[in-house]
Structure 1
Amino acid sequence: MASPTHFLVVVVLLLLGVATTAFSLSPNFYDKVCPQALPAIRKVVEADGSLFTSVVMVHSFWIPHLLSKPRKNARGNLNPVRGFEVVDQIKAEVDRVCGRPVVSCADILAVAARDSVVALGGPTWKVRLGRRDSTRARLDLANTELPSPSLDLPGLLNNFRKQGLNRRDLVALSGAHTLGVSRCSIFRNRIYNATNIDPAFAKQRRATCPRTGGNTNLAPFDSTPAHFDTAYF
């Protein structure tokens, strides 16, 4: 069985970008056109630590190079997705220091996710840059392709398979949930009705998630929701 450290490395590699591209990416892509770009991204990210977790979670979504209004509003996003607004903020600052819009939102999010992981105690890595943003967005595809929180394991495996991802990718990307919290309304059914859940864990979650009411009560995904580590596994 792979070690937690191995899983942590895989999560980081997947955070580099789930979707592959037909062209070559490079950590030095913006060195000549705007060497101030990456420092500007880090400066804005570190100025608002409350969004570290949101940036990482947004980047771990299906297609990180498609930043669009339909993606934000898709039915799969049962909880409000924070983090998109900080991408807009960073984009404005990067365009300012570069003198023109040369850095894609996709690259901004990839670098911001790396800087957030580091700030939350995780490892660092070189981000391969040169992604391009999509020129169109499809709300219908976002609604049908994004995995629902209610999907069981076979459903998740099938959903990932359609995106060219395997079982290992599913486990690794799930590791991004080492950060953040979830609403009671999302996990209530499992802690009261599921049989394949640890009884002690279910009892702990019931303390803040009653059978009725408390839909917006929050609970962390693991014991260290503000740290990027292997506790989720």
Structure 2
Amino acid sequence: MRKPLILTALANAPRILTMVGLFVFALSGLVIALLAPAENDLENHETNTSKTKIQIIEPEQYLGKDLPDPNLEKLVNFCINHTTADRGFVIFSNGTCVLIPEPCEDPLTTAREMLANNAKPEARFLTERTTDGDLIVTFQNSVFHWVGSYELEAIRNWAEANLHSLFSPEEMKTIKPNWTPPMDARVGLVSRKRLLADGSGMEIVKILRPNTSVAALGKK
């Protein structure tokens, strides 16, 4: 199987616009990200010989607690930095972003339709790191989540403590009892949970369009 291209930092818009074809070609069964080998943190990190204070957080501390809210301000700034003459963004309240090719007569309707097409319990996704250490979780139809490096650890730990709540009933039938998804895949599962919430609520909080630098605020 060919290795699919994965969105890195929205630097190349055509990569996003061709994700549908890549998913049809490359994805089968559970999420490809979940099939990657688990990371071995002990082997990949050097021994901490400095006197830096280390806080050890057990995932159980996140058990039953609410999922941390996305930082919409930072998300908006990320999208502003990648808005160009031929693409804008629509951002939903739980952090789902939809890339809108410009010109577009009705970006709100377009974004809602694209979100609805993705908001499914078994929605596939791909993950990849940016050069800044952030994580992009890409769904189909130019729909994605951006997760800042500063929040990755908390989201991973929350996902580990609440793992079974992130899988659909159909997916649970294929998962071995003691299996744990790789680190970045946990973040992808959380992003899917947020995607489903946005698919239910459909609350738009920002619209970013080229040549105007105007953001529409509030519920739509």
Instruction: Give the TM-score range, shorter chain.
Output: under 0.3
TM-score, normalization by structure 1: 0.25
TM-score, normalization by structure 2: 0.26
- More helix per residue: 1 or 2? 1
